[in-house]
Amino acid sequence: MIFALVGNQNSGKTTLFNQLTGSNQHVGNFPGVTVESKTGEIRGHKGVSVVDLPGIYSLSPYTSEEIVTRDFVMKQHPDGIINIVDATNIERNLYLSIQLIELNIPMVIALNMMDEIRSNAGSIDIALMQKELGVPIVPISASKNEGITELINVAVKTVETRQYPKRQDFCTGAPHRTIHAISHMIEDHAELIRIPPKFVATKIIEGDQPLLKALQLTETEIISIENSIKEMENSLQTDRKAAIADMRYLFIDRLCSETVVKPLESKQHIRTEKIDRILTNKYLAIPIFLIMMGIIFWLTFGVIGGFLSDLLGNAITGFSDIVKSGLEAVRVNAVMVSLIIDGVFAGVGSVLTFIPTIVVLFFFLSLMEDSGYIARVAFVMDKLLRKIGLSGRSFVPMLIGFGCTVPAIMATRTLPSERDRKITIFLTPFMSCSAKLPIYGMFTLAFFPNHRVWVMLFLYLLGILLAIISGLIFTKTVYRGNPAPFIMELPNYRLPSVKSVALLLWDKAKDFLTRAFTVIFIASLIIWVLQTFDLRFNVVAGSAESMLAGIGRFIAPVFQPLGFSDWKASTALITGFMAKEAVISTLAVLTGTNSSNLPQALGQIFTPLAALSYLVFTLIYSPCVAAISTIRREMHSSIAALGVVLFQTAAAWLAAFVVYRLGLLLI
């Protein structure tokens, strides 16, 4: 038995899903659904699963979320629908409900946030509303885990007894006549695609092209449908879409006036207004936001995450040392030891140390998201981002990009439009990620000891500037289209649920662990092979003769115009492709130095101007393997991922070229 969980954004859908399934969730790929949707088995009910579909406001086919949900409900034919309705925002939520009811699938309404209604002296006549809508309604409070058991029982019973919605007609007046006329006309066609004719008729009047196509009507049928819609428009003096929306809201307004006693201004709303008076204040909003992000970054990359990462890093090094001496004690071949220690442990270990940072960063992000603050950030920043053809919602992923590109790209999932999402993914790698800091640190120490902060600031700003330029290029060429309209609900501030946050963190950690032991494991093996053997697969004495060095020498001429043609510099760029920190460790290995005398060694490879050019190149060139694999997964396209690699590398080459040549002119 499969239930589809459908509801508005901010209606507590994810919280309910977590309550229904506990940790028993997995991401499933459903045929016909390109976006990942989560599935879970309902606790205590074997064989009963529920699919968490994207939050939507209507069943029209305008956003990717709507299309996913529509396709799932209309094509996969779930056994039942659980429709979550935010009782504090009932009118707009019911707008979706009555469209779902028209689909004629056994359905239950979970009336969420009833605790807030009651505590603010409001009430809802559930018995009457149930009768009017013709589907069972269960009052719940997802965050307090109230009413969930009953919801499950009612939902299962509704499906088992094949209780279809008792009412199908929510229409009045002129639209009513037109809907009936059209539904008779298309009845046969609708039955062929197993969707109720009444639903199809209403959607066609709304101008639903995909559905009209699926019906495969004849030319004459289409013309006569068009005629009856025009007739309706003339008699109502309005257009088709507005007529249907108005009709639905008229029904809802009447229903609510009979059944809902609206609470006085709720405590939650008053609290929200008070908080907003500060957080979206004309003068305070931006400074507060910047300070908050500063604190989050400081905690994530410095205090908590950094500390835990160091701790984990030391533990891994310690463990690796023990294994190494153990292997040496049993006289394992030196090459084997190197494979295990320098290959697997070093490679996988260096990625594993990032886990605490990622978890801490996502902890803060999920707090921002679940509390409702992210929506305010988008509200405040929209005007700035519109200048490069994006909307306020793209701001947050880009910001995370300064920490790490991987979670930043995952965070673009919250963006409502595919176009915005793609552009944001393309621009995020320009935000200088924290793994590049060791490179900046070492090079500025070696070449610009008196101007370190200025050089770093220059690099960060250059990244942002190039992102803006690229954004303008993208929105003027490839992604011309219209920027996604910025219509967004600003939900009341709510305390995030511990359970949701914990589940999310577990999810992210698991994701990252899997990647460390699959992609990174394989990549580490490959790099190890490349730097240990020469072309005839003889073990090399020093890395200067290895295949990796060979590749470094081969591509070195490409960097001649940028001022650095030493093979060590280009080899370090290749390993930096695996992880940016590796640039410094590779340079150390190749020059046979350690961190204390590396600066002098660098002085022999680069001139100060070439060093600056090298820094600019490392700032922008291809994101690391982990980021690329994330881009590939999130965009479902290897070509797009390759595109990012090529675009970034080309931009890096150009930028470094300009910096180097300008520098030569100035000096």
Partner 1 sequence: MSIIDYLLIAVIIILGILALRYMSRQRNGCQGCQHCQYYDGCNIKRKREDDQ
Partner 2 sequence: MTLDQLEIGKKSKIIAVHGQGSLRDRLLDMGLTPRTEVIIRKTAPLGDPIELTLRGYQLTLRLEDAKNIEIEDAS
30 contact, one of partner 2, partner 1, none, CB 5-8 Å limit per kind: partner 1
Exactly one of 10, 15, 21, 49 binds partner 1 (CB under 8 A); that residue is 49
Q: Cβ closer to partner 1: 71 or 86?
A: 71
CB atoms within 10 A of CB 246: 14
CA distance 287 to 295: 12
Tokens 């920490």, located at residue: 403
Smallest distance, partner 2 to C-beta of residue 1, A: 30
- 455 binding partner 1? (CB under 8 A): no
Residue ranges for the known binding site for Mg(2+) are 18, 21-22
- State the alpha helices, DSSP H only, in 372-413: 373-386, 395-401, 405-411
Smallest distance, partner 2 to C-beta of residue 262, A: 7
Please, are residues 359 and 505 in contact by the beta-carbon 8 Å criterion? yes
- 538 binding partner 1? (CB under 8 A): no
CA distance 305 to 299: 7
Comparing CA positions, the residue from 176, 181, 175 lying closest to residue 224 is 181
The SS3 of residue 32 is coil
- 518 binding partner 1? (CB under 8 A): yes
Q: How far is CA 526 from CA 143, 522, 546, 633, in A?
A: 48, 6, 13, 21
- 46 binding partner 1? (CB under 8 A): yes
Q: Per-residue x/- marks for partner 1, 85-104, CB under 8 A?
A: --------------------
340 contact, one of partner 2, partner 1, none, CB 5-8 Å limit per kind: partner 1
CA distance 174 to 235: 7
What pairs with residue 526 in β-bridges? none
275 contact, one of partner 1, partner 2, none, CB 5-8 Å limit per kind: none
Please, are residues 91 and 260 in contact by the beta-carbon 8 Å criterion? no
Smallest distance, partner 1 to C-beta of residue 521, A: 5
CA distance 390 to 402: 19
Comparing CA positions, the residue from 189, 182, 190, 173 lying closest to residue 224 is 182
Burial degree of 417 (CB within 10 A; 0-12, 13-18, 19+): buried
245 contact, one of partner 2, partner 1, none, CB 5-8 Å limit per kind: partner 2
Residue ranges for the known binding site for GTP are 7-14, 32-36, 52-55, 112-115
Residue ranges for the known binding site are 7-14, 18, 21-22, 32-36, 52-55, 112-115
Q: What is the DSSP letter of 126?
A: H
The SS3 of residue 635 is helix
- 29 binding partner 1? (CB under 8 A): yes
Smallest distance, partner 2 to C-beta of residue 375, A: 8
Residue 6: φ, ψ to 5°: -125, 140
- 517 binding partner 1? (CB under 8 A): yes
Tokens 């990244």, located at residue: 463
Smallest distance, partner 2 to C-beta of residue 177, A: 20
Q: Given the rule CB under 8 A, which of 10-18, 26-34, 374-382, 578-586 is the region that contacts partner 1?
A: 26-34
Q: Per-residue x/- marks for partner 1, 476-515, CB under 8 A?
A: --------------------------------------x-
Smallest distance, partner 2 to C-beta of residue 525, A: 48
Smallest distance, partner 2 to C-beta of residue 285, A: 4
Q: Cβ closer to partner 1: 448 or 521?
A: 521
Smallest distance, partner 1 to C-beta of residue 344, A: 7
Q: How far is CA 42 from CA 25, 72, 106, 136, 153, in A?
A: 9, 19, 17, 19, 11
CB atoms within 10 A of CB 176: 14
Q: How far is CA 591 from CA 133, 228, 573, in A?
A: 76, 81, 14
88 contact, one of partner 1, partner 2, none, CB 5-8 Å limit per kind: partner 2
2 contact, one of partner 2, partner 1, none, CB 5-8 Å limit per kind: partner 1
Q: Cβ closer to partner 1: 47 or 449?
A: 47
Comparing CA positions, the residue from 352, 344, 351 lying closest to residue 320 is 344
Q: Cβ closer to partner 2: 3 or 95?
A: 95
Please, are residues 15 and 143 in contact by the beta-carbon 8 Å criterion? yes
Q: Cβ closer to partner 1: 323 or 502?
A: 323
Q: Given the rule CB under 8 A, which of 213-221, 400-408, 520-528, 591-599 is the region that contacts partner 1?
A: 520-528
Exactly one of 9, 76, 163, 565 binds partner 1 (CB under 8 A); that residue is 76
Smallest distance, partner 2 to C-beta of residue 601, A: 49
26 contact, one of partner 1, partner 2, none, CB 5-8 Å limit per kind: partner 1
Find the helix packing angle between 437-447 and 598-605, rounded to 10°.
80
Burial degree of 222 (CB within 10 A; 0-12, 13-18, 19+): middle
Cα torsion through 264, 265, 268, 272, rounded to 10: 180
Which positions touch partner 2 (CB under 8 A)?
A: 57-58, 60, 62-63, 88-92, 95, 206, 238, 241-242, 245-246, 249, 262, 276, 280-283, 285-286, 375, 379-380, 382-384, 386, 392, 482, 485-491
What pairs with residue 138 in β-bridges? 110
Comparing CA positions, the residue from 289, 620, 612, 575 lying closest to residue 431 is 620
622 contact, one of partner 2, partner 1, none, CB 5-8 Å limit per kind: none
The SS3 of residue 5 is strand
Encoded amino acid at 616, one letter: V
- 41 binding partner 1? (CB under 8 A): yes
Q: Cβ closer to partner 1: 454 or 517?
A: 517
Q: Cβ closer to partner 1: 249 or 521?
A: 521
- 338 binding partner 1? (CB under 8 A): no
CA distance 99 to 130: 16
Q: How far is CA 244 from CA 83, 96, 175, 224, 390, in A?
A: 21, 13, 7, 19, 31
- 48 binding partner 1? (CB under 8 A): yes
Q: Given the rule CB under 8 A, which of 45-53, 163-171, 411-419, 613-621 is the region that contacts partner 1?
A: 45-53
121 contact, one of partner 1, partner 2, none, CB 5-8 Å limit per kind: none
Task: With CB under 8 A as the rule, give the number of residues binding partner 1.
Answer: 29
CA distance 346 to 654: 33
CA distance 425 to 420: 9
Sign of CA dihedral 526, 528, 534, 537: negative
Exactly one of 128, 461, 472, 522 binds partner 1 (CB under 8 A); that residue is 522
28 contact, one of partner 1, partner 2, none, CB 5-8 Å limit per kind: partner 1
Smallest distance, partner 2 to C-beta of residue 90, A: 8
Q: Per-residue x/- marks for partner 1, 296-335, CB under 8 A?
A: ----------------------------------xxxx--
Query: Residues interacting with partner 1, by CB under 8 A?
Result: 1-2, 26, 28-31, 39, 41, 46-49, 76, 330-333, 336, 339-340, 344, 514, 517-519, 521-522, 525
